[in-house]
Amino acid sequence: MKFNTKTIHGGQKHEEATGSVSTPIFQTSTFAQTQPGINRGYEYSRISNPTRKALENSLAAIENGTHGLAFASGLAAIDCVLRMLNPGDEVIAGNDLYGGTYRMFTKLFQKYGFKFRFVDMQDATNVTNAISDATKLIWIETPTNPLLKIADIEKIVTTAKAKNPNILVGVDNTFATPYLQRPLDLGADIVMHSATKYIGGHSDLIMGALVVKDAQLAKELHFIQYAAGAVAGPMDSFLALRGIKTLHLRMQRHSENSKAVASFLNEHPKVSAVFYPGLESHSNHEIAKKQMNDFGGMVSFRLKDASIEAAHTFLKNTKIFTLAESLGGVESLMSHPITMSHASIPEEERLELGITNSLIRLSIGVEDVEDLMKDLEQALTK
């Protein structure tokens, strides 16, 4: 199947008892057994649930994987990956990470004896040079949150595994989605999504996902998921499965609108910098062109007035853009990273990365793009 067909039919079948075209919501905790230890494929919904299983099959199909796992949140999915490691093991991660991922690494797992090394992954040699005998996992976020940096997945995988073939490479594919980028095809071992975002697409669920190709790796991750219990519920699984069916349509419009918005901001006299991999001025624009089908729905920019007051003035004066956490919904959202998504990162580190007082992150929705640009224009001129 081609991708657009996979979003609707990939890994799916009509419900057997009634022929229901849409996967039903199996809102049950347990399942009847015919004899002790003998069931019809399901025994307890923490282990597996038919609605969640349909979603997991769909996720595997659209990422060109073989096994999908759905979790209660994106962070729960990352937590599951880290639980495969042991104290003393080292993780190499990008230095421009989602604040929640950084918080989990440094505030939770670091105190259990895990080691974390943060490098600029825009240059793959930085990753290779950081690898030590203790390195067990490389964690890539591309495009990054919030500066939309691009890492060359295939090059990082190739050079890392040449050094040590047992190193696992995981990729947070939340911003790109499998419509734009499929890391497993580029050699990654694990793909992670905060399915809360573009997979769900309607700002009405919290969910995470992992997709892999290796059966043994899937078995290990499923055991941790089952044993730790941070699973997605059937209602959220239903909503995410429904969201996937329009993923290709939404991502087309998100990408179209973002190109127009990024170009508009790039020419605006009150904007000092625009961060969007679709701009030719982006430092890794060519890598983005190579590994992505388009450039996605996220745009960040920095105001020329570097004060936090200028950012607050802009944020309170938009009419269509909503100031809110999260991203990837059909509606356009905006956020102020230093006080919202990246507040947990120490100020000195934020400033070193370029996450400044006047940095604003936009999640471009699927509205009429002319309305979006008019809204940005009037807010910028207040």
List the catalytic residues: 46, 98, 172, 197
Going by DSSP bridges, is the β-strand pair 168-172/115-119 parallel, antiparallel, or unpaired? Answer: unpaired
CA distance 30 to 45: 6
Torsion, Cα of 118, 122, 128, 130 (10° steps): -20
CA distance 303 to 65: 41
Q: Which residue has the tokens 């919030």?
A: 146
| DSSP-assigned letters across all residues of 36-70 | TTB-SS-SBTTT--HHHHHHHHHHHHHTT-SEEEE
Burial 8-47 (b: 16+ CB within 10 A, else e): eebbbeebeeeeeeebebbeeeebeeeeeeeeeebeebee
CA 176 from centre of chain? 7
CA distance 50 to 24: 8
Please choose, from the candidates 145, 152, 80, the residue with its C-alpha nearest in 3D space to the C-alpha of residue 275: 145
Token readout for 228 is 């730790």
Residue 45: phi and psi, rounded to 5, are: -70, -15
